[in-house]
Each structure stands twice: as C-alpha cells, then as structure tokens.
Amino acid sequence: MADAEAVASELLREHHDEFAQALDALDGHAQYIVRGRYAEEAIIAEVVSESDQARALLEDIRNKPDEASRNSQMGLGEFIANAIEYKREVDTKMVIDVLDELATEVNVRPPTHEYDAVHVALLAELEREPDLEAVLDRLAERWVSGSD
C-alpha cells in the first residue's frame, strides 16, 4: 500500500469487522514458540547405533583414506540427514500430542537448523501458561534423561 492513509482506508476500514472479530478471538491468549535441538554428537551416535548400514559406512570410512571412502562419507551423511528428519517428525508429533489439550492452535514450523528436533508455534490461553510450562519441563526432563 502506498501510505498509512491507504492502509487505513483500503484495508482497515473495509475489513474492520473481520479484524475486530479476530482480535476478540485472541483476547486472553498468547503465542508460544517451542523449539528443541538435538545435541550433534549424541544424535549422530544414536543414529549410528541404531543402524547396521550406518555402522558399516562408518567402518568403511575409518578403514580407508579420505579419497577411497568419499562415497561412504556421502552415504553416511545422507543416511544421518534422513534419520534426523524422521526423528524430527516423530518428536514433533509427540510434542503436538502432549500440547494438544493446552493449545487452541498449533502450527509446525520448518526447521531452521539441520539439528532442530522440534519447532512449533502454539496459541494458548494465558491462564494455561503454568500448565504449559509444567508439561514442557517434564518433556525436557524425559529427553535429557534419555527416556524418550
């Protein structure tokens, strides 16, 4: 839009009722961003420990010079990236399932880093914030302790 007057006359006035209704629906709510990131060494070790194929590629890399193991290096990198993507989907679903009762809306956001585990935006009632924090604290404790 050309200027502030154009915004007011062409957008706000014409859509006043829609904006007012949307703002009323947001009253008493807040947006929360839930982000988690895998520890690089831990997630790579986990992926390798869970796969015979990944272990074989790693062994090939260790037993050959860089030039001779280039295909194995690329294969292992691709394998790890795919495994992390799968784990991210599983972990994101778990977070959504855990937060579902507390959130009015949930929006999965794309990862911003290759080791992102979860990136979710949610809209929740302000009065539910203590419950939300408690659930997230329990989830973080489970992940740090390795029970999930």
Give mean pLDDT, residues 10-19.
83
Check whether 118 has a pLDDT greater than 60: yes
pLDDT score at 25 = 84
Mean pLDDT across the stretch 66-86? 94
Position 13: which residue type? Answer: R
Residue 77 CA to residue 79 CA, distance in Å, equals: 5
> What CA–CA distance (Å, rounded) separates 106 from 132?
13
Structure tokens belonging to residue 24? 């009323």
- Whether the per-residue pLDDT at 33 is higher than 80: the answer is yes
CA gap 23, 51 in Å, rounded? 50
The pLDDT of residue 93: 96
Average pLDDT across the chain, whole number: 91
Q: Residues of the chain with pLDDT > 90: what percent?
A: 70
> What is the distance between the alpha carbons of residues 121 and 108, in angstroms, rounded to a whole number?
6
Task: Let me know the angle formed at the C-alpha of 129 by 125 and 133, rounded to the nearest 5 degrees.
Answer: 145
Q: How far apart are the first and last CA of the chain?
A: 50
Which pLDDT does position 28 carry in this prediction? Answer: 93
The pLDDT of residue 146 is above 80: no
Give residue 135's pLDDT: 94
Residue 147 has pLDDT above 70, yes or no: no
pLDDT given for residue 148 in this prediction: 56
Does residue 83 surpass a pLDDT of 80?
yes
pLDDT, mean of residues 105-133:
95
**How many CB atoms lie under 10 A from the CB of residue 47?**
21
